[in-house]
Structure 1
């Protein structure tokens, strides 16, 4: 499978990612609405309902399983980047499920429930651990950076920018700096331990999920189930 930028010069107005799958290759796309062009056998795309957890976390109902040989283009709004990461065996990173754009067969997902205090502060209640053999596509707002952790010196990262963190790292929600600084900043993760943290280079944008956050469940179901519901139901 090959993934690349279709026209890198268009990055200022949004990015277009080109997927090319050989015969027998497959990818599961969790944002099927971002597909803008497809070349291949029509039956090569099979949409299906997500699990209940996936519906809740993504605020959408469907994902697309695409089998090669085929090519297709996906559109990313301005500011979004797609990073392909290989997964080999058991990764110790805990991801935000909303950042997962695609995955290939052989990837296993395990949900990890957060502590109550962390749920309240982050407005999130679980992370996702990936294992197996394959590729995942991570969607970020801004470029993705890897930052090494230290066992003694804490790393402070804005909680809104964290894409993945080591499962066994020591974590604490806090603010830092003097009194004035701590009063005017968002909560940060204080991290110590081994491994790396994955951090996106800008604060998370709402473009891809804005529509789904505003809609009720009934409207989303009707939009997905009724033929051409996405056109007629706004």
Structure 2
């Protein structure tokens, strides 16, 4: 049985669509947006195969916009970049290797399905919308800069939003992102020489998954 699992949606109870929600010969296709501007995500929730299907490449971002986006004048179009981070292990022939017992995560991080990707940027502000769709690991990320370009080895950025939408801007040098968590960043490349590379680097490696320690309940998204 196939099912659609939204994360962070302020939606009717049926919209969570766990495999038991729909009865035989029944389907639900309507999803009404009740959220303010925010970054949500979804994935396939097939019975007994949810983790495997996310690993195989079936998560996606669901961007909700409202007039606040327009008023803030944030980067858009080619300067708004959605990034889905996942962990992978590859066989020698390039096919995916999957082990449900890999508690420390797989050995290769990928963005939007590509290992070691490259993005050419202009000397201006970019909006990076990052989702950690890894099954297990948390990641601590930073932007490394050649030491002859900046006095400090990391490029600062502004955190402007998380799972529930916009927040007060916070200047940061690195961030920890857990599984299913979203970060909305503004990164300014205007002071960077065009011929230099900036690396998005996980400087502690993936952190192991920890058991649930908080109570679970019905999600209602941003209020």
TM-score tier, shorter chain, comes to under 0.3
Higher relative contact order (CA 8 A, sep 6+): 2
User: When you count helix as a share of all residues, which structure comes out higher?
Assistant: 1
User: When you count strand as a share of all residues, which structure comes out higher?
Assistant: 1
TM value normalised by structure 1: 0.25
TM value normalised by structure 2: 0.26
